[in-house]
Amino acid sequence: MEALTDGIFAISMTLLVLELKVPDAPKSISSHELLHKLGEEIPAFFSFFVSFIYCGLLWTLHHLAAHFFRHIQLGLAWLNLFFLMSIALLPFSCALLGHFLGNVAAEEIYFGNMLVAAVLLALQWQVATRKNLINEDDPQAAKDIGQKLLFFPPALAAAMLVTPYGSKAAFYAMAMVFVTLRIWQRKVLRKTKSPSPPPSS
Amino acid sequence: MEALTDGIFAISMTLLVLELKVPDAPKSISSHELLHKLGEEIPAFFSFFVSFIYCGLLWTLHHLAAHFFRHIQLGLAWLNLFFLMSIALLPFSCALLGHFLGNVAAEEIYFGNMLVAAVLLALQWQVATRKNLINEDDPQAAKDIGQKLLFFPPALAAAMLVTPYGSKAAFYAMAMVFVTLRIWQRKVLRKTKSPSPPPSS
Amino acid sequence: MEALTDGIFAISMTLLVLELKVPDAPKSISSHELLHKLGEEIPAFFSFFVSFIYCGLLWTLHHLAAHFFRHIQLGLAWLNLFFLMSIALLPFSCALLGHFLGNVAAEEIYFGNMLVAAVLLALQWQVATRKNLINEDDPQAAKDIGQKLLFFPPALAAAMLVTPYGSKAAFYAMAMVFVTLRIWQRKVLRKTKSPSPPPSS
Amino acid sequence: MEALTDGIFAISMTLLVLELKVPDAPKSISSHELLHKLGEEIPAFFSFFVSFIYCGLLWTLHHLAAHFFRHIQLGLAWLNLFFLMSIALLPFSCALLGHFLGNVAAEEIYFGNMLVAAVLLALQWQVATRKNLINEDDPQAAKDIGQKLLFFPPALAAAMLVTPYGSKAAFYAMAMVFVTLRIWQRKVLRKTKSPSPPPSS
């Protein structure tokens, strides 16, 4: 399943760029006007940027999580297939957002798509844990990944809740959770690196 | 051949999304109107959904089957090349169906394309069996895959037969076979897990 | 270099399908009219078919050849990069042919692109042979591949020469060489399988 | 990270071809006119050619560099994600340049995109060196790659500086650095092959 997953992520992430259109202007356009035209596409660049980083994070987490699966069982394979479908849909949601930035419906669809992907990824981990398919070689690292996976769904749910009150606020909400995630991550890592304080003799 | 196969599946499955077009509407469109516009694209979303799942199933079966091939022989390589061609054509058939859902010709082409893919995959297995190229390490699993591969062609043939009598009925026919497959699969798995009933003493 | 090569082949082969356009017709079109519209696209289907098979053959040969390279040296890497560029260009040449089938310039560009790819692949083998980079484990198989690689350039050169006298004749010329290749291949294989005729006592 | 990197490079390099459009002309166009139409697209072919070679070089260097990384650390993974984003953006910058060749803004964006990619790749190496993550098995080869990576940023910075004074001059500037790189590379390789001159007895 890894090869198909890698392929679909790579393609989805690269297809995001197809939403960035070369401005429809005469070839003799001045540099100033071209920059102005490109400036109008800033929403599309913004949604490309956010979506690419988001996909990159999900891919990394999926990759880390997959290393802990002892084997793939039928239920997990189906969850992964639906997960990949939500990833394959992202270029569409991203294009929708890039074209209609500020439109509540477009933004809800965009965050909704991301939420579904995050939930399906976290679910894979939960199912694997329940069915005892998680490799116990490095329980600390496994716990760490399991926790990280649970961070994404609330972040995106927050973004969806905030969207109707302001399209930018939703991104701030999501970003805040990412920063929180980062801080939390650091703390955990620091703890992990000094797990056993030297016994005072 | 695995790397090329994985790549072509991943790309075909992701290209399916290119058929979902961002609605051609002014940027100031209201959320309500945007949702309405997207609602008109439901046939395209539906054909994306069905095609993605179908490709995912075929990929999984191909992957499982390929593990049983002791080596690839010239005839198998050619069958696989034509199989990959039918997969690469799916985004086109899917787009056709998404655009003309309800049109008998579009639906027959769509199911026909899927049928050709399923037949070419089943044929690979048959040829490998005849030429004694199937690994005999796990005969039960090999038999299981061989049977599953034979389920797809009749399911799609049924869909093609039913299409002229109603475009939705064809999907029900195909879905029914999938459910049947699932039930049958379960039964076989249960039997496999308890293959030796305890001898009555 | 294998991973990049596999990826570029898989993508080029799948992008060929983007040239097949869903007919631009009202959604209420009849099945009969839809089939008629699709019939007008037969040249595009034909060029998809030929190009896909051609790419598949080149990929197989590249793959077989690459297994014989002991290591990749700078000159080979550059040749392979230009080879991949000619493969990445094929979807364009194929689209050109599909749109202007019968036009001498479009056909010469198409066959020319194929010829460049074939020459660059054959050159890789020649360079590797000269620089003594070919693995000598199976000299018979190595010789076999080296010969097959030399078949493509003349086939495509023949097609280019015949093109001005008739657009279909060029395809017949190419096809004839493929059939010849096939027959020759069979003979070699038969010889290989019975290399030592039993000595008459 | 290798699989995602390979995938994104392969797709970006192949998507470059999507910028080459089949001329919009009637199917009955003469060969002469078709060639004339294609001649107008020479800027697009030129930017396809330069971008493909550039991507191929960066991929090769990334690949060579990645083999020296003992393990991937969080900072490196983020740098690589931004690096991949700059690669995924290249088809857009390339299309912009192909459409507006000679326009200073388009050319600065194109070279700027390439510069960002080159800087992020060189940064990965610098970070890995600082954090002592470079495998010391072959220090000569490691040093060689580290030096090559530092060649790209100045070459592209030169192109960006020269662009306002002439759009072709910028390409000459970049090409000159590539030739310089090549000559320097050769010298280094020659030295490497005769590292220990026989001691005069």
Pairwise CB contact (< 8 Å): D92 & A52: no
Among residues B96, D30, D27, D38, the alpha carbon closest in space to that of C93 is found at D38
Residue D22: list chain C partners with CB under 8 A: 92, 95-96, 99
Test mutation, D82, D85, D86, chain A, max A CBs within 10 A:
D85
* pTM of structure: 0.84
Pairwise CB contact (< 8 Å): A95 & B32: no
Test mutation, D1, D42, D86, D89, chain A, max A CBs within 10 A:
D89
Q: Is the distance from CB of A25 to CB of A33 less than 8 angstroms?
A: yes
The span from the CA of D160 to the CA of D137, in Å, is 37
Residue A106: list chain B partners with CB under 8 A: 31, 34
The span from the CA of A56 to the CA of D54, in Å, is 23
Helices (H), chain B: 2-15, 31-39, 42-66, 74-99, 104-130, 139-162, 167-193
Pairwise CB contact (< 8 Å): A17 & D92: yes
Q: Is residue B25 classed as helix, strand or coil in its secondary structure?
A: coil
Which residue would you say has higher pLDDT here, C82 or C73? C82
Q: What is the pLDDT along chain A (201 residues), one digit of tens a residue?
A: 678 888 889 888 888 888 788 888 887 888 888 888 888 888 888 888 989 998 998 888 888 888 888 777 778 888 889 999 999 999 999 888 888 877 888 889 999 999 999 999 999 888 888 887 787 777 777 887 888 888 888 889 888 988 888 878 888 888 888 788 778 767 766 665 544 444 444
Q: List, for residues D77-111, the tens digit of each pLDDT value.
A: 888 999 999 999 999 998 888 888 778 888 899 99
Q: List, for residues C139-181, the tens digit of each pLDDT value.
A: 777 887 888 888 888 889 888 888 888 878 888 888 888 788 7
The span from the CA of A39 to the CA of A13, in Å, is 22
Among residues C65, C79, C77, the alpha carbon closest in space to that of C146 is found at C65
Kindly indicate whether the ipTM for this predicted assembly is greater than 0.85, answering yes or no: no
Among residues A192, A22, C67, B82, the alpha carbon closest in space to that of D96 is found at A22
The span from the CA of D151 to the CA of D27, in Å, is 48
Q: List, for residues D26-49, the tens digit of each pLDDT value.
A: 878 888 888 888 888 888 888 889
C-alpha gyration radius of chain B: 20
pLDDT at B196: 46
The two tokens of residue A156 are 């995106």
pLDDT at A138: 79
Residue A22: list chain D partners with CB under 8 A: 92, 95-96, 99
Q: DSSP states of chain D as a string?
A: -HHHHHHHHHHHHHHGGGGSPPP---TT--HHHHHHHHHTTHHHHHHHHHHHHHHHHHHHHHHHHHTTBSS--HHHHHHHHHHHHHHHHHHHHHHHHHHSTT-HHHHHHHHHHHHHHHHHHHHHHHHHHHTT-B--S-HHHHHHHHHHHHHHHHHHHHHHHHGGG-HHHHHHHHHHHHHHHHHHHHHHHHHHHS-SPPPP-
B132: left (phi over 0), alpha (psi -120 to 50) or beta: left
pLDDT at A109: 92
Residue with tokens 């690469």: B88
Q: Closest partner residue to A99 among B10, B13, B22, by Cβ?
A: B22
The span from the CA of A16 to the CA of D94, in Å, is 15
Q: Closest partner residue to D60 among C11, C15, C77, by Cβ?
A: C77
The span from the CA of C142 to the CA of D124, in Å, is 40
Q: Closest partner residue to B52 among A6, A85, A103, by Cβ?
A: A85
pLDDT at A170: 86
Locate the chain D residue with the closest alpha carbon to C1: D60
Among residues D72, D102, D105, the alpha carbon closest in space to that of D5 is found at D72
Pairwise CB contact (< 8 Å): A56 & D81: yes
Q: DSSP states of chain A as a string?
A: -HHHHHHHHHHHHHHGGGGSPPP---TT--HHHHHHHHHTTHHHHHHHHHHHHHHHHHHHHHHHHHTTBSS--HHHHHHHHHHHHHHHHHHHHHHHHHHSTT-HHHHHHHHHHHHHHHHHHHHHHHHHHHTT-B--S-HHHHHHHHHHHHHHHHHHHHHHHHGGG-HHHHHHHHHHHHHHHHHHHHHHHHHHHS-SPPPP-
Among residues C26, C7, C38, C53, the alpha carbon closest in space to that of C155 is found at C53
A132: left (phi over 0), alpha (psi -120 to 50) or beta: left
pLDDT at D190: 59
Locate the chain A residue with the closest alpha carbon to D94: A22
Residue with tokens 């060579």: D64
D152 CA to chain A: closest CA distance, Å? Answer: 23
The span from the CA of C90 to the CA of D103, in Å, is 29
Interface contacts (A, D; CB < 8 Å): 74
pLDDT for residue D119 is more than 90:
yes
Q: Which residues of chain B have pLDDT under 70?
A: 1, 185, 188-201
The span from the CA of A31 to the CA of D26, in Å, is 33
pLDDT for residue D200 is more than 60:
no
Q: List, for residues A16-38, the tens digit of each pLDDT value.
A: 888 788 888 887 888 888 888 88
What are the φ and ψ backbone dihedral angles of D69, each rounded to 5 degrees? Answer: -80, 125
Residue A96: list chain B partners with CB under 8 A: 22
The two tokens of residue B149 are 């591969």
The two tokens of residue C6 are 């596999």
Chains touching D by CB (3 or more pairs below 8 Å): A, C
Q: Is the distance from CB of A69 to CB of A34 less than 8 angstroms?
A: no
C17 CA to chain B: closest CA distance, Å? Answer: 6
Q: Is the distance from CB of C85 to CB of C12 less than 8 angstroms?
A: no
The span from the CA of A132 to the CA of A129, in Å, is 5
Q: Closest partner residue to B100 among C17, C34, C48, by Cβ?
A: C34
Pairwise CB contact (< 8 Å): D88 & A29: no
Q: List, for residues C86-133, the tens digit of each pLDDT value.
A: 999 999 998 888 888 778 888 899 999 999 999 999 999 888 888 877
Report which DSSP code applies to C153.
H
